[in-house]
Amino acid sequence: MEVAGNQIRVQSIVQDGKVVVPPQYVQPPETRPQRNVEKRNNNYIPTPPVIDLSNVNFVHEQLERACQEWGAFHVINHGVPVELLDEMRRVSRSFFENCSMDQKLSYACDPNSPASEGYGSRMLVASNDNVLDWRDYYDHTILYPFPAETHPSGPTFRPITVKELLDRKVVAEYSDRMNALAEKLLGLISESLGRSSSCIKDVVGEFYQNITVSYYPPCPQPELTLGLQSHSDFGAITLLIQDDVGGLEVSKDGEWIFVNPLCDAIFVILADQTEIITNGQYKSAQHRAITNAKHARLSVATFHDPAKTKTISPAFDPPKYRPVMYGDYVSSWYTTGPEGKRNMDALVL
């Protein structure tokens, strides 16, 4: 088994041919995945809405409903070429499947620093992780609202990373398209609340953008594990694509709902800062990933976040959430762990 800075990558456990999941990956009974089908006595299984962005007459209404009921939804006719989504999936997968473990470990993230860029497996710093996720990831920050040279870990950070590992052209184009789509969606979402299109973006300010590729190797005991523990994303808005394996679930009315993988669509996840800014009219979506025994699964999540120094507060009166400096919110998320939406709950007035 290969270890870097005491960090084991799940892929190396699988390559060792283990048929039993190591104990640190075993979830307690209350957080293990359960198949909804078994619990339901009728055949109706809700599924997150699919919103056609070209349908300008209905889009605000549909967004309002989706944001109130789910905090997450698919968009189609989003203007991003499907070939680009496929290319992004392809270059992302090639890192995990075509590089040797030694090559991958040369991009290892810093195990002692939360959210550090690079190849990792643990979500939280070692001392805060109770049960480990059955997931490896490659995390990198793409956009900074100021020149790269002035940022210590900007895109010049290990330039080889982006160049060699993920085809620069594909990632650059993907990043730009996601940035534009995130902005457009926050505009439409603001309008769906009867405000001007810049309402949410005015509070967020310029986006910081981070792309995390998650790779979930097949798991010998999927009923005992989670690919990614229950959480809500801490930024403003997340745009996610996945392959056709499936494993993402969102929480709705206390139940975990499987998100059907739609390869042409982009899955939109409202994150915590949008919940604060909309004063809870729209809630961030709690979600998680489950594993399966047969297939490796890939997702690419693009996060759009405020600057760490930005103070986020509700844009509606009377405020139902305490203002918070974004950097403090992120630190608390990584220190205490997400545990569903515990960090968001702590801000409710």
Q: Residue 259's closest CA among 49, 42, 44, 27?
A: 49
Q: 207 - beta bridge partners?
A: none
Which amino acid is present at 21? V
State the binding partner of 300 from ligand AKG, Fe ion, none, CB within 5 to 8 A by kind.
none
Only one residue has tokens 């290969």, namely 2
- Smallest distance, Å, CB 36 to ligand AKG? 17
State the binding partner of 123 from ligand AKG, Fe ion, none, CB within 5 to 8 A by kind.
none
- Smallest distance, Å, CB 287 to ligand AKG? 5
- Smallest distance, Å, CB 349 to ligand AKG? 27
- Smallest distance, Å, CB 151 to Fe ion? 24
State the binding partner of 214 from Fe ion, ligand AKG, none, CB within 5 to 8 A by kind.
ligand AKG
Residue 314 or 338: the one with the smaller Cβ distance to ligand AKG is 338
Which residues in this chain contact ligand AKG in the complex, by CB under 6 A? Answer: 212, 214, 228, 233, 240, 242, 248, 287, 289, 299, 301
Phi, psi of 59, deg, nearest 5 = -60, -40
Residue closest to Fe ion (Cβ): 233
Q: 209 - beta bridge partners?
A: 143, 304
Residue 75 or 289: the one with the smaller Cβ distance to ligand AKG is 289
Which residues in this chain contact Fe ion in the complex, by CB under 5 A? Answer: 233
- Smallest distance, Å, CB 231 to Fe ion? 6
Integer angstrom CA distances of residue 217 from 1, 135, 231, 263, 292: 15, 7, 20, 20, 8
Dist CA 59 CA 61 (whole Å)? 6
Residue 12 or 238: the one with the smaller Cβ distance to Fe ion is 238
Dist CA 200 CA 191 (whole Å)? 10
Q: Residue 306's closest CA among 282, 281, 323, 285?
A: 323
Residue 178 or 228: the one with the smaller Cβ distance to ligand AKG is 228
